[in-house]
Structure 1
Amino acid sequence: MRKIQMMGIDHSRATVAERELFSLTKAKQKELMEAVIRQQGVGGCVLLSTCNRTELYVSLQKEEDIDLYRIFCHIREIPQTAQDELQHLFCRRSGEDAVRHLFLLTGGLKSRIIGEDQILTQVREALEYARLCNVADTVLKTLFRMAVTVGKKIKTQVAIPRGNTSAIAAALAQLEQEGHTFGGTQCLVIGNGEMGRLTARAFRERGAFVTVTVRQYRSGQVQIPEGCARIHYGERYEKIPECRYVVSATSSPNLTLEKDKIQELNLTGALTLIDLAVPRDIDPCIGELPQTEVYNIDDFQTGTGVSEEQSASIEAAKTLVEEEVAEFVSWYECKDMIPEIRELGTLAAQDVSWRMGKTFHEMQFAPEVCHQLADAVEQTAAKVFQKMLFGVRDHADSDVMRECLDALGQVWKKE
């Protein structure tokens, strides 16, 4: 029987500078998961990687003990001398604790912004990428599918009251409190992914004139929010002197804006740069230049304070999560029964087919018709019987279910 382990680093334990040490490109994510899956006793793994967290989920044999941290450090090329110093940044969970954490996370209850929407998509995409890399086993596929279902239930059944629903919304709200205004200003958004599009729309809603960078111009392959202009990524520096705000939100491992190139522009007006990426897109040293300020994702207080209204909804969401954790545990403890359920279903179906076959012959059907009818009856009976047993498994205590299977086995397997 396999168990579930999780190891991760997130915004609650590590700064953006520390998190970016362990950020991974798509290629490196695949390399890490493939390295983990090669370890003895590992059944599958899924890596969840966002700006605020990097978490590795693994299913393995109970007796196995895999040093996920060292594997992670090896793939990320963390020097041996630094590994011991950085290890405290990681949290480790196992069993129900790991399941509960993922369910709470997918429901938006562990995000910097309570109830935020993006994490649900990110969890779904993490599973899809693991499946694409052929490293997710049945246990983790079921776990992540259930996590997405839990997230949807929380959003529809609980509806946690929210203010800002994204990092950029929280960032702009904080900047407004500090005296910034956006109406009529020029804004450049570097990056046309999900966060880039959210950013462009947020500035447009506040009356800014927004330009978005794209990598190419071919029609049908690039979409930008309505009302926004676009330029090629290579023209970003030429656009900056016109801008009051610049936001970068890409998945690039390299800087999108460098200090020396900004300095060469000889800017005369104030410039605010917002970096929403991990690893960071914008050289933080740019903030040393006159009339220039640089914010990163950790500069915005998006996870502090919970209203009374939110507290009641959060408790309701946690109750829902506990119910779903119990359901997953029930499935997990009974999953080894699946082969026996299928075997019993087949044996029962064969018995039904044999009995119906006698009736078909008595009705004087042609032999080929009798065979066709018997095959159809057997296939249908197997599906019905297995569905019935799986339904019992999902609602009965595991010990009771095993007694039922033993009793049925004595009936169908007897000579």
Structure 2
Amino acid sequence: MTLLILGTNHRTASLDLREAVAFSPEQLEQAHAELVALEGVDEAVIVSTCNRTELYLSGEGLDAGFGARAFAWLAGFHRVAQASLQECFYQHVGDRAARHLMRVACGLDSMVLGEPQILGQIKGGYQLARRYATLGGPLEQLFQYAFSTAKQVRTETGIGENPVSVAYAAVNLAGRIFDDLSHSRALLIGAGETIDLVARHLREAGIQGLIIANRTQARAERLAAEVGGVAVGLEEVPQALSCADIVITSTASPLPVLGKGAVESALKVRRHRPIFMVDIAVPRDIEPEVGELDDVFLYTVDDLNEIIDENRRSREVAATQAESMIDERVDEWHRDRRERGAGQLIRRHRRQAEALRQAAEAHALAQLERGENPQDVIRRLSHQLTNKLLHGPTARLRAASGAERQDIIAAAEALLLDEAASDAFDAAEIDALKLGAHCPIGAHSQQVP
């Protein structure tokens, strides 16, 4: 079985190119079907996110040139010129492919080191492949290894414990000040990418209510609709402040959008219930003097960067630990794969031996039915069965010896000879068996009248 990964991600391709090769949900069933229809492909999984598109393939018939054919299929499926994709795609085979999948599942290949979302996305791709019946062999076993490796890394390292993005750090800090965000409301000023992420993190944290304020109210309305919030214009911010426990700002304004006077007024309306504020913008959106007010906890992007740098260092230590775990898991997967390969050989060998046994047994039973002496039949059966089982290996060993294949001779000695068993089954036991053969059945048992 050959394992192959063909893919592109945020490190190798621009956003425009990643968009060009991304699979929509409506395309995935057809894409899976086309992949397993390619010559040599037995299993296929597609992982398609905003930051990566990867094809995971396995099959007994995958040859060295298959990667180029899979690449051509991908370009053709999306109607994109191969030349524009050539420099942006990577290919991993065998153990390197196994290691790559495990690293992706653990968040080691993500834009934000250790982020957990990618594991859910990989599980989604896995479940779709199972639904479309394009998974069910060695590739499925590898995905199971990846899932258990990710769980081990999450459990035994601190790779996912501390936030390493400004948006997540802001929300994490809010969660430390307000024990239960389900009783809090947040006012977000701005509607760019950072505020978008903050809004989604707050929604996931269970925030009670969200107010989105932006100079362009249409953008605020669009984000509010996506996160279940309320949109207002910047002129309504002073009124919104009075019901906001959390205020996070990130605009492109050259001047502060929130002054000390507006916050003082809001605190009076709130009867001095505290407000947690994070100013992510540069230049700052909130006048520094606001931080001097009682009942206001004001943090700037510099405060968050200190937290993020410290957290990033802790994640890098955890990532080193995770890499060692992955090395061990890849070795384990490789060993399991070899053992499974030997299992197929063992099953074939047993089927062959069973066929010889059944033929010898049928021949012996036919002789007994003709009234031949049972002891003679048994002796012939044992000789014939032994000769049939040993004929093939003996002939091949002679040929190997003639060809001076000492590797085969040494392997045969290790596989075929069991000295301990031979010594245990000694002459005395053979004599006892011969004596037993002359005893009538039940001779030593008590007769029942």
**TM-score scaled to structure 2, two decimals?**
0.50
Q: How does 1:345-356 map to 2 (within 5 A)?
A: none
- Report the equivalent of 1:338: 343
- Report the equivalent of 1:128: 127
**Given the alignment of the two structures, is residue 50 of structure 1 paired with residue 35 of structure 2, yes or no?**
no
- Report the equivalent of 2:100: 101
Shift of the 406–9 alpha-carbon distance from structure 1 to 2, 3 Å rule, reads same
Does the 8 A contact of 2:154 with 2:160 survive in 1? no
Does the 8 A contact of 2:142 with 2:333 survive in 1? yes
Structure 1: distance between partners of 2:321 and 2:121: 23
Once the two structures are TM-superposed, the CA of residue 41 in structure 1 deviates from its matched residue by: 1.3
- Report the equivalent of 2:145: 146
Report SS of the residue matched to 1:8. strand
- Report the equivalent of 1:65: 65
Letter paired with 2:315: Q
Report SS of the residue matched to 2:145. helix
Report SS of the residue matched to 1:142. helix
Q: Deviations over 1:276-316 (max 9, x none)?
A: xxxxxxxxxxx9xxxxxxxxxxxxx9x99984322221111
Does the 8 A contact of 1:28 with 1:75 survive in 2? no
Q: Deviations over 1:233-254 (max 9, x none)?
A: xxxxxx955947727879xxxx
Worse overlay, 58-67 or 120-129: 58-67
**Given the alignment of the two structures, is residue 183 of structure 1 paired with residue 179 of structure 2, yes or no?**
no
Structure 2: distance between partners of 1:131 and 1:408: 44
Shift of the 332–248 alpha-carbon distance from structure 1 to 2, 3 Å rule, reads farther
Structure 1: distance between partners of 2:150 and 2:226: 25
Structure 1: distance between partners of 2:74 and 2:152: 33
Does the 8 A contact of 2:43 with 2:57 survive in 1? yes
Letter paired with 1:27: E
Which structure: larger Rg?
A: 2
Once the two structures are TM-superposed, the CA of residue 172 in structure 1 deviates from its matched residue by: 7.5
Q: Deviations over 1:85-116 (max 9, x none)?
A: 22211111111111111111111111112111
Structure 2: distance between partners of 1:248 and 1:167: 23
Q: Deviations over 1:106-161 (max 9, x none)?
A: 11111112111111222122111111111124111001111000000000011225
Shift of the 242–9 alpha-carbon distance from structure 1 to 2, 3 Å rule, reads closer
Once the two structures are TM-superposed, the CA of residue 56 in structure 1 deviates from its matched residue by: 0.5
Once the two structures are TM-superposed, the CA of residue 12 in structure 1 deviates from its matched residue by: 1.0
Structure 1: distance between partners of 2:75 and 2:225: 27
**Given the alignment of the two structures, is residue 200 of structure 1 paired with residue 177 of structure 2, yes or no?**
no
Shift of the 199–68 alpha-carbon distance from structure 1 to 2, 3 Å rule, reads farther
Shift of the 184–63 alpha-carbon distance from structure 1 to 2, 3 Å rule, reads closer
Letter paired with 1:184: L
Q: How many residue pairs get matched?
A: 271
Does the 8 A contact of 1:114 with 1:162 survive in 2? no
Once the two structures are TM-superposed, the CA of residue 20 in structure 1 deviates from its matched residue by: 0.6
Report SS of the residue matched to 1:246. helix
Structure 1: distance between partners of 2:5 and 2:39: 17
Structure 2: distance between partners of 1:86 and 1:324: 32
**Given the alignment of the two structures, is residue 77 of structure 1 paired with residue 76 of structure 2, yes or no?**
no
By relative contact order (CA 8 Å, sep 6+), the higher-ranking structure is: 1
Structure 1: distance between partners of 2:165 and 2:127: 23
- Report the equivalent of 2:176: none
- Of 294, 299, 317 in structure 1, the residue corresponding to residue 322 of structure 2 is 317
Report SS of the residue matched to 1:136. coil
**Given the alignment of the two structures, is residue 329 of structure 1 paired with residue 334 of structure 2, yes or no?**
yes
Structure 2: distance between partners of 1:12 and 1:171: 26
Structure 2: distance between partners of 1:330 and 1:50: 31
Shift of the 172–84 alpha-carbon distance from structure 1 to 2, 3 Å rule, reads farther
Q: How does 1:2-21 map to 2 (within 5 A)?
A: 2-21=1-20
Structure 1: distance between partners of 2:86 and 2:170: 30
Q: Percent identity?
A: 22
Does the 8 A contact of 1:188 with 1:240 survive in 2? no
Letter paired with 1:183: A
Report SS of the residue matched to 1:184. strand
Structure 1: distance between partners of 2:144 and 2:53: 19
- Report the equivalent of 1:246: 223
Once the two structures are TM-superposed, the CA of residue 319 in structure 1 deviates from its matched residue by: 0.5
Shift of the 243–311 alpha-carbon distance from structure 1 to 2, 3 Å rule, reads closer
Once the two structures are TM-superposed, the CA of residue 168 in structure 1 deviates from its matched residue by: 6.0
Shift of the 305–16 alpha-carbon distance from structure 1 to 2, 3 Å rule, reads farther
Shift of the 314–70 alpha-carbon distance from structure 1 to 2, 3 Å rule, reads same
Once the two structures are TM-superposed, the CA of residue 188 in structure 1 deviates from its matched residue by: 9.6
Shift of the 408–119 alpha-carbon distance from structure 1 to 2, 3 Å rule, reads farther
Structure 1: distance between partners of 2:49 and 2:124: 11
- Report the equivalent of 1:282: none
Shift of the 161–46 alpha-carbon distance from structure 1 to 2, 3 Å rule, reads closer
Structure 1: distance between partners of 2:186 and 2:344: 64
Once the two structures are TM-superposed, the CA of residue 342 in structure 1 deviates from its matched residue by: 4.9
Q: Deviations over 1:262-285 (max 9, x none)?
A: xxxxx96599xxxxxxxxxxxxxx
Structure 1: distance between partners of 2:190 and 2:222: 5
Unaligned runs of 5+ in 1: 174-181, 190-194, 211-238, 251-266, 272-286, 288-300, 352-398
Letter paired with 1:75: F
Report SS of the residue matched to 1:24. coil
